[in-house]
Every structure is written in structure tokens, then in C-alpha cells.
Amino acid sequence: MHLIVGLGNPGSQYELTYHNIGFIIVDAICKHWNFQSFSKKADCLITSSVINDNKIMLMKPYSFMNNSGISVARIRNFYKFSLDNVIVIHDDADLELGRIKIKKGGGSAGHNGLKSIDSSIGNDYWRLRFGIGRSDSQRSLADYVLSKFSNLDDVIPLVERIAQNIHLMLQGNNIAFTNSIV
């Protein structure tokens, strides 16, 4: 069984913000693959289904970004997920908008959600990094990531392709998955 975690912050004020791209992608996977509605458990929303013979649990931590690791650890420990089967989807300001990268392990690069997860379960899990770029203005990175997407029409087709092709990543075919997004 795989655990796919989308990082974000709960609440309508955070919907469609750069920092919530993990929630946005997990919602798209849920919709595309006809998962049931999310239910609340251990400070998160979860749902389960099957994608091409792979049992999948989708998760959105509702403990806010900086405390995501607490919820992830609870769900991981309860369901006994191997770190090899944990995928965390998050925003990455160091990648240009819409660019994705997949990697296993590594540092947090200052991302507070990843810092929290790393301190709770270690860092040897898969990461699907979605580029959000950096603001051209003088505003802080914190203000930028909590602002609404200014180019949502460019982002939605990428999100939909990720949802449609996530089965490739689940099969371990990361190159085909990445190529299907561009």
C-alpha cells in the first residue's frame, strides 16, 4: 500500500495558494481515480482506493504545514507504511513554476512541512516537488507562498496530468511519469 501525502494548510483562506499545491494535486488524484470522499482521522483527511492494482491512501494533514509530520507519523505508524511507499507532494520555490522533480530522501531546503515530516519519520521518503517559482516583487517568500496563484490556468492542466499519470510513479517508472507531465 502507498501513502500519498499532499502538503498544504487547512481553511478557505489558503485554498488555491502556492503553498497548497500538495492539497490541490491530491484532490485531483482523488477526483480522477474516483476515490470516495475524504474522512477526518488523526488531524488529517484521508481516503483509500486502488490505482492499477496498487492500494493507495491519500492524505491531507490538517495540522497546518509546520506540523504536518505529526499527522503523517500517526497515519504511517497506524497503517505500517514503509518509507519506500510514502510520497509527499509539496511546493518548491527553487523550481520554476510548473516544473516537477522526483527524489527520494534529502534535506528540507527550508520547507517547514518537510522539516516537520523529517523530524517525525526521517527523510528517506519520496518527494514530488512541484515548482512554484519565486515572486518577482519585493515581498517575502512567506507572503508569496501564501498568496493565490496568479496563473491558475497554466497550473491546472499540469495538475490534471499529474493525477492522470500518477500510476507511473507508483509503478516506479519516474522517468515516464515526469515525461508525461511536460
Answer whether residue 142 shows pLDDT above 90. no
Q: What percent of the chain has pLDDT over 70?
A: 100
Output the pLDDT for position 89. 98
Q: Which of 2, 19, 90, 167 is catalytic?
A: 19
**For the whole prediction, is pTM greater than 0.75?**
yes
| Mean pLDDT value across residues 113-135 | 94
Quick one: which H or E segment has residue 6?
strand 2-6
| Mean pLDDT value across residues 73-83 | 95
32 belongs to the catalytic site? no
Answer whether residue 49 shows pLDDT above 90. yes
Measured distance CA(44)–CA(79) in Å, rounded: 14
Burial of 67 (0-12, 13-18, 19+ CB in 10 A): middle
Answer whether residue 110 shows pLDDT above 90. no
139 against 53, higher pLDDT: 53
Residues 144, 149, 150: CA angle, nearest 5 degrees? 100
| Mean pLDDT value across residues 39-56 | 94
Output the pLDDT for position 169. 96
Contact 78, 90 (CB under 8 A): no
Grade residue 6 by pLDDT with cuts at 50, 70 and 90: very high
Output the pLDDT for position 122. 95
Output the pLDDT for position 182. 78
Phi, psi at 115, each rounded to 5°? -55, -45
